[in-house]
Amino acid sequence: MNKIISKNKKLLIVLGAYLTLCASLVILLRNPSDSLIQVLFEATVSYNQSLDYFEEDGLYILTTGTGAPMPDKMRAGPQTIVVAGKQVLAFDAGPGSTLKQELSPVDVGAVDALFVTHFHSDHIGGMGELMLKRWGNGSPEQPLPIYGPAGIEAVVNGFESAYAFDKGYRIAHHGEEVMPPMGFGGVANTFDLGSDLMSSETIYKNGDVEVIAFNVAHAPVFPAVGYRVNYKSRSAVITGDTKYTESLIHHSKNADVLVSEALNMKFSKMLAVAGEDTETNISAIATDILDYHISPKEAAVVAREADVQQLVITHILPPCPQI
Ligand SMILES: [Zn+2]
Ligand SMILES: [Zn+2]
């Protein structure tokens, strides 16, 4: 008798749970276009980008673009963000990198300056978006300071021209308080390191933060530079695009972190062979790029020779399958 009661009880509990589940699904799916999505959206919507995320004073590095010109489902075009104390410095602005930054803890509106290594499209394609999003998110009174070698002014002016219509739309729609006209665009700060491959210069100094630009070897692209950021007792080096060169070792000496581009020579040659039978230029391009990039192994040699503490490989060429 007791067994029958216990069995019935279990059955009732299971039935009750089943009916509750059905009722929940009916409520959620009553209007699937908004109720289910709305529940999920409400559970995830939040906006909490703040420099307070980096509680301890220090030098932080975010890779917001680790790809290169070839399409890579997982990677945006090259960009490294360095947070030095309360200053946010962006290095290069590859296509899609601003969207990646918006997914990071560092708000685009907080970017204090942009440093450009050279003018290959994969390093500047996102510059317009960065200038616009910084303006929209941060309501700055001043345009974004942009540092780069000779040619940077033409590039900045070009992006400003391309975004001129959008500037007008944004001011008209959101008002001058949200989009102060003076804060639109960028201000180019040009430096000239000359042609000596070993030359360098401090091109930015603000409080405890110092940025040194140095020449790298990316011929026929000239000028092309790398950057070293010094903050209190910490330092980070961003190579830009370069083949192996003594300049890299010299300017990376005792750095805490070296963020180096890298091209896998073996994979690139495989790509060149695979592309031979196609109608595209992929074979020629995969062959040409072999002579002006550094390999991961060579980057490791630079790190070892310069007594660098940590090596970060970025600008992955060619795109590799994710595992
Ligand atoms: Zn590149
Ligand atoms: Zn390049």
Which ligand has the shortest distance to the CA of 69? 1
Domains along the chain? Answer: 51-317 (3.60.15.10)
Residue with tokens 């091209």: 263
Q: Do 232 and 208 contact (CB within 8 A), yes or no?
A: yes
Mean pLDDT confidence for 131-148: 96
Tell me: pLDDT of 1 over 60: no
Which of 72, 107, 112, 122 is catalytic? The answer is 122
Q: Do 286 and 271 contact (CB within 8 A), yes or no?
A: yes
Question: Which pLDDT value is given to residue 23?
Answer: 65
pLDDT tens digit sequence for 91-112:
999 999 999 999 999 999 999 9
pLDDT tens digit sequence for 195-233:
999 999 999 999 999 999 999 999 999 999 999 999 999
Q: Is 307 a catalytic residue?
A: no
State the distance from the centre of ligand 1 to the C-alpha of 94, rounded, in angstroms: 9
Structure tokens at 257: 């972190």
- 107, with CB counted inside 10 A (0-12, 13-18, 19+), is buried
C-alpha pair distances (Å), 237 with each of 61, 137, 294: 10, 28, 15
Work out whether strand 113-115 and strand 87-91 pair parallel, antiparallel, or are unpaired: parallel
Average pLDDT, the chain: 91
Which ligand has the shortest distance to the CA of 65? 1
Q: How confident is the model at residue 140 (pLDDT cuts 50, 70, 90)?
A: very high
SS (H, E, C) 67-81: CCCCCCCCCCCCEEE
Amino acid at 132: L
Q: Which of 5-9, 103-107, 253-257, 261-265 ranks highest by mean pLDDT?
A: 253-257
Spatial strand order of the sheet with 144-149 comes to 59-65, 79-84, 87-91, 113-115, 144-149, 186-191
State the distance from the centre of ligand 2 to the C-alpha of 148, rounded, in angstroms: 14
State the distance from the centre of ligand 2 to the C-alpha of 120, rounded, in angstroms: 5
Tell me: pLDDT of 53 over 80: no
Q: What is the percentage of the chain residues whose pLDDT exceeds 70?
A: 92
State the distance from the centre of ligand 1 to the C-alpha of 261, rounded, in angstroms: 8
Tell me: pLDDT of 34 over 70: no
- Can you tell me whether residue 213 is helix, strand or coil? strand
Residues whose Cβ atom is located within 5 A of ion ligand 1: 120, 122, 241
Tell me: pLDDT of 189 over 70: yes
State the distance from the centre of ligand 2 to the C-alpha of 67, rounded, in angstroms: 12
pLDDT tens digit sequence for 84-94:
999 999 999 99
Mean pLDDT confidence for 60-72: 95
C-alpha pair distances (Å), 173 with each of 168, 169, 285: 9, 6, 44
In whole angstroms, give the CA distance from residue 234 to residue 122. Answer: 28
State the distance from the centre of ligand 2 to the C-alpha of 118, rounded, in angstroms: 7
Structure tokens at 282: 């992929």
